[in-house]
Amino acid sequence: MELYRIILVDDEEEVRKSIIQKIDWKAVGFQVVGDAENGEDALEKVELLDPDVVLTDIRMPYMDGLTLAEKIRQRCPLMKIVIFSGYDDFEYAKRAIKLNVTEYILKPVNVEELTAILKRIKTSLDEEIEQKRDVSRLRENYKKSLPILRDQFLKELVSRPMDRNTVKERMDEYGISLEGAKKWVALAVDIEQEEVEADRKLPLHEEKGLIPISVMQIMEDSLKPRYRHILFNFSGTEKIELAGIVAIDDTNSQTELINVLGDMCKEFQRILNVPVTIGIGHSTQVLENVSVSFQSAVDALGYKAIVGGGNTIYISDVEPVTSDKLIFDSKAESELVTAIKFGPEEKIKEAVQDVTDRMNDAKVHYRQYQAYMLSVSNCIIQLVQQYSLDMGYVFGGTPGSGDPFAVIPQILNKENFGRWLLPVALKINSALDEERDNTTKQTVEKARQYIMDNYQDPDLSVEQICRYLHMSPAYFSTMFKKATGQTYINYLTEVRLNKAVELLNMTDDKTYVIASKVGYQEQNYFSYVFKKKFGVSPTKFRGNK
């Protein structure tokens, strides 16, 4: 196992050196990755070095050990903190307990005592990691999660076409026996609880959450002897509580299934006094494409206002199967837009290929081809407009022309459509990447300006800047360091010290006045930070000029 990382914090250099030299760190499972002489330095090194443990004195200049522990707890709640103190003060110990400090020990600390403490901390860290890796516990949690994972998979299966191997693997994993049928039919179930008359409510209606469970149980009891099937909870955008997939084998028929489902609807009314409408989709001979059947089951429910609810609605009865349909639906649009926005290039090529394959596979009237291509093009134009991109550049015309109608002659040719769509999609992706880079630059520039405007504030913090920028501290810290090559603390310190140099050169202000003007409440700490950067104190720096 890798060594755990530790930082030592004490204002006495001899103490730090003594501890580092006397402990056999490797033997107790640690490596010292840094040390600091005060809390301010330590906080900066915690951000840079990401230690597992911080070992700190309690009495230090500029920021004491308890304040350091409090700030670490705010940023790194799980980090282990050991405080050692020369003061047997109950108030210190009480504050340390509130901060969930791992160990609180009194000075002087001998090698044996500290070694024992480090071994305890290592054991604790090992146990935490082991718990997270505990296979049996993970397996148990996985089993508990299986019903949720199964329902998520089934929702995905009825929402979009899936890879055949993936479907087979998941079916085996979740113990779902549907494969090998002649065809499959999807069901969409609408439980109309709001239609129940108030004066006829049964006790069950007092807890409406139990009604879908009762409906599912009745369906299970009726379907189980006759059909291989799966029922599951469904919470989509449509008003559908339950969904199902039924396998049609040689021993049963789709007509029989419709009759069985019709009888169920009567049972729901009789037993539960709740109208239930079941939408029945077109059958499919490819299980991984059962989403097409489910969508037609949802479409069947849409006819409830015309044919009435509380019964089955078979899509072929209300919307007979005609020729193929070529529709750029919301799923296809979402997949194309996501690929274009986030890439990578391979993903964009796949999404464009899927769009053109749908068109090439369909056998429809040429007007449907045109409608389909216009729908795809409209999606592209909306994306361009949403992000205020240059239409002339995107569509290969004159930059700045901004005429969306100029693309129409290019997109109504079925053979050329794919050749037009791919470069346009890649251009949009490139433009969005550039836009994101510009946004990052603008955000960093706003942060820099905010620091320049507020560096005099001794309480200026990354949280304060993030409230101004409306972003999380973690994301801001990563973005800022990537863009500037410096942490926020380093950058702020540099700004303050550069301003201090200006004031030392251009004014006769006392050192404590300059310290206050550049955001340091304590003159001593200002002098310490200044000397650390420039090698001399502020007074000597001015004298050398």
pLDDT for res 245: 95
pLDDT bracket for residue 199 (50, 70, 90): very low
Kindly state the average pLDDT of the residues 328-335: 83
This prediction has a pTM of 0.49
Answer whether residue 44 shows pLDDT above 60: yes
Report the distance separating Cα 29 and Cα 384, nearest Å.
Answer: 56
pLDDT for res 492: 92
Kindly state the average pLDDT of the residues 521-525: 87
Q: pLDDT, tens digit, for every residue of 160-186?
A: 888 888 899 989 888 899 988 999 999
Phi, psi of 38 (to 5 degrees): -160, 170
pLDDT bracket for residue 410 (50, 70, 90): low
Answer whether residue 30 shows pLDDT above 90: yes
Task: Give the three-state DSSP class for 114.
Answer: helix
Residues in CB range of 225: below 8 A, 6 or more apart: none
Q: pLDDT, tens digit, for every residue of 466-496?
A: 889 888 888 888 888 888 888 888 899 999 9
Q: How confident is the prediction for the chain on average, in pLDDT?
A: 83
Instruction: Count Cβ atoms below 10 Å from residue 30 Cβ, excluding itself.
Output: 23
Residues 281 and 185 sit within 8 Å (Cβ to Cβ): yes
Strands (E), 96-179: 103-106
Task: At 433, list the tokens.
Answer: 């990447």
Report the distance separating Cα 369 and Cα 358, nearest Å.
Answer: 10
pLDDT for res 276: 92
Measure CA 289 to chain center: 28
pLDDT for res 227: 92
Task: At 442, list the tokens.
Answer: 């603008």
Instruction: Count Cβ atoms below 10 Å from residue 367 Cβ, excluding itself.
Output: 8
pLDDT bracket for residue 461 (50, 70, 90): confident
What sign has the CA pseudo-torsion 495, 501, 507, 513?
A: positive
Task: At 461, list the tokens.
Answer: 């913090």
List the single range of 146-155, 194-203, 235-244 with lowest mean pLDDT.
Answer: 194-203
Choose between 48 and 264: higher pLDDT: 264
Q: pLDDT, tens digit, for every residue of 370-385?
A: 888 888 888 888 888 8
Q: pLDDT, tens digit, for every residue of 420-433?
A: 888 889 988 988 88
pLDDT for res 452: 92
Whether the bond between 108 and the residue before it is cis, its omega within 30 degrees of 0, is: yes
List the single range of 290-294, 324-328, 346-350, 402-406 with lowest mean pLDDT.
Answer: 402-406
Report the distance separating Cα 166 and Cα 174, nearest Å.
Answer: 12
What Rg value do the Cα atoms of the chain yield, rounded?
34
Answer whether residue 322 shows pLDDT above 80: no
pLDDT for res 207: 58
pLDDT bracket for residue 142 (50, 70, 90): low
Answer whether residue 139 shows pLDDT above 80: no
Choose between 91 and 229: higher pLDDT: 229
Which is nearest to 420 in space by CA: 377, 482, 483?
Answer: 377
Report the distance separating Cα 351 and Cα 337, nearest Å.
Answer: 9
Report the distance separating Cα 534 and Cα 504, nearest Å.
Answer: 13
Report the distance separating Cα 405 and Cα 235, nearest Å.
Answer: 39
pLDDT for res 456: 93
Task: At 139, list the tokens.
Answer: 């397996």
Report the distance separating Cα 393 and Cα 396, nearest Å.
Answer: 5
Task: Give the three-state DSSP class for 434.
Answer: helix
- Please give the order of strands across the beta sheet that includes 80-85: 30-36, 4-9, 53-57, 80-85, 103-106
Q: pLDDT, tens digit, for every residue of 234-283?
A: 875 557 889 999 999 988 888 899 999 999 999 888 888 889 999 999 99
pLDDT for res 290: 92
Going from the C-alpha of 316 to that of each of 86, 255, 292, 299, 304, the distances in angstroms are: 85, 12, 14, 11, 14
pLDDT bracket for residue 101 (50, 70, 90): confident
Question: CB-side exposure of 434: number of CA atoms within 13 Å?
Answer: 10
DSSP letters spanning 319-381: S---S------HHHHHHHHHHHHH--HHHHHHHHHHHHHHHHH----HHHHHHHHHHHHHHHH
Task: At 301, list the tokens.
Answer: 């429910």
pLDDT > 90: percent of the chain = 23
Answer whether residue 403 shows pLDDT above 60: no
List the single range of 137-141, 332-336, 365-369 with lowest mean pLDDT.
Answer: 137-141
SS3 content of the chain, % helix, strand, coil (to 5): 60, 10, 30
pLDDT for res 329: 81
Kindly state the average pLDDT of the residues 423-447: 87
Which is nearest to 348 in space by CA: 401, 270, 418?
Answer: 418
Residue 498, amino acid:
N
Task: At 141, list the tokens.
Answer: 């949690």
